[in-house]
């Protein structure tokens, strides 16, 4: 198997903080990213982790993403950044993406769903319940944020299966998507959305990658002591969260994971451009914006 790090949607430019950053090119303003993973499995096609912005978002941004969000997030709207175009550039057909695993259902993570209408879409069972069950906590909020343009085609939303006693590095409630031909887990990191989850994937070398979605937004939050939030990302995080205490608890789990298990797990988030450049550079053959 092989894991590619894709930026599926550049957003507004973010100034560097100059703290907790490595030297050189890190000290530049960079566009926020939509960090997605494309996994080439050995036996069953491709798995996409989060989908960024899709081709319809780029063509009709206000209608698809909402004019207020577009004005704030300032997406670059380059069709070449869509997961669809990147899959094709790698020599695959869109139908080769058989499975999509989502951290949560916000617009900057679900935009690519209509480009892969045949793919099975796996979410944590609690996030599935939040969007499908009117009696679930935060149901209306979850549904409102799942953009109509991203679900009008009827995505094949599927709850992953919780293994009763399953823990992952001490984190309970992990769920296993049924179907993908690789080792994948949805790891509960709630707070940003009702049942936001990280996606853990074991790479070909036996190490884990953890796509932590929006559980944190700037690497200083898990790498610095005390946690260093970014002043551009922090209001976004505060505005989006459904449960502040749960979000901070999730962030602190990730701080512990980074501190105690960095040799076994590489943790990264969805939008931090410096982190994206660093993690993508660890995979020489992956296409990334590391040198953009
Ligand atoms: Zn996001």
The confidence score (pLDDT) of residue 142 equals 96
CA distance 128 to 72: 28
Interval between CA 108 and ligand 1 midpoint (Å): 5
For the ranges 84-93, 164-173, 236-245, 283-292, the one whose mean pLDDT is highest:
84-93
Confidence (pLDDT) at 283: 73
DSSP 8-state class, residue 272: -
**Whole-angstrom Cα distance, residue 29 to residue 215?**
23
Is pLDDT above 50 for 291?
Answer: no
CA of 109 to the centre of ligand 1 (A): 6
> How far is ligand 1, taken at its centre, from the CA of residue 36, in Å?
11
Q: What is the whole-number distance in angstroms between the Cα of residue 278 and the centre of ligand 1? A: 19
pLDDT value of residue 165: 79
Chain center to CA of 17: 23
Ligand 1 centroid–CA 252 distance in Å is 19
**Residue 214 near residue 240 (C-beta atoms within 8 A):** yes
The yes-or-no verdict on residue 289 having pLDDT over 70 is no
Cα 34 to middle of ligand 1, angstroms: 7
Residue 60: both structure tokens together: 């009709």
Closest listed residue to residue 49, CA positions, set 217, 190, 180: 180
Q: What is the DSSP letter of 96?
A: G
pLDDT of res. 22: 53
| Confidence category of residue 284, pLDDT binned at 50, 70, 90 | low
Taking the centre of ligand 1 as the mean of its atom positions, its distance from the CA of residue 156, in whole angstroms, is 21
Evaluate if pTM is beyond 0.85: yes
For 130, list phi and psi in degrees, rounded to 5.
-60, -35
What's the pLDDT band for 286 if we cut at 50, 70, 90? very low
Query: 287 pLDDT exceeds 50?
Result: no
Q: Is 20 exposed, middle or buried (0-12, 13-18, 19+ CB in 10 A)?
A: middle
Residue 129, H or E segment: helix 125-132
Cα of 104 vs centre of ligand 1, distance in Å, is 9
- State in Å: Cα 103 to ligand 1 middle: 9
Average pLDDT, the chain: 93
Residue 53, sorted as left (phi over 0), alpha (psi -120 to 50) or beta, turns out to be beta
């Amino acid at each position: 198997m092989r894991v590619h790090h894709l930026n599926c949607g550049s957003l507004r430019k973010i100034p560097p903080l100059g703290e907790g950053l490595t030297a050189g090119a890190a000290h530049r303003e960079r566009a926020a990213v939509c960090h997605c993973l494309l996994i080439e499995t050995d036996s069953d096609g491709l798995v996409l982790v989060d989908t960024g912005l899709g081709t319809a978002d780029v063509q009709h941004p206000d209608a698809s993403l909402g004019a207020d969000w577009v004005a704030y997030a300032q997406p670059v709207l380059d069709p070449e950044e869509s997961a669809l175009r990147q899959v094709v550039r790698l020599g695959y057909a869109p139908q080769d993406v058989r499975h999509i695993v989502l951290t949560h259902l916000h617009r900057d993570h679900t935009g690519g769903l209509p480009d892969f209408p045949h793919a099975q879409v796996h979410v944590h069972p609690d996030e599935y319940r939040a969007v499908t069950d009117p009696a679930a906590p935060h149901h209306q909020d979850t549904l409102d944020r799942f953009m109509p343009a991203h679900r009008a085609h009827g995505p094949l939303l599927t709850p992953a299966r919780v293994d009763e006693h399953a823990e992952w590095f001490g984190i309970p409630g992990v769920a296993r998507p049924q179907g993908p031909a690789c080792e994948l887990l949805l790891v509960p990191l709630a707070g940003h959305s009702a049942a936001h989850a990280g996606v853990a994937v074991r790479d070909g070398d036996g190490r884990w990658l953890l796509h932590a979605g929006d559980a944190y937004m700037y690497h200083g939050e898990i790498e610095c002591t005390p946690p260093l939030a970014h002043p551009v990302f922090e209001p976004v995080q505060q505005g989006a969260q459904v449960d502040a205490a749960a979000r901070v608890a999730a962030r602190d789990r990730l701080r512990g994971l980074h501190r105690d298990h960095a040799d076994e797990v590489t943790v990264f988030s969805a939008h931090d451009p410096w982190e994206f450049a660093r993690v993508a550079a660890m995979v020489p053959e992956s296409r990334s914006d590391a040198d953009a």
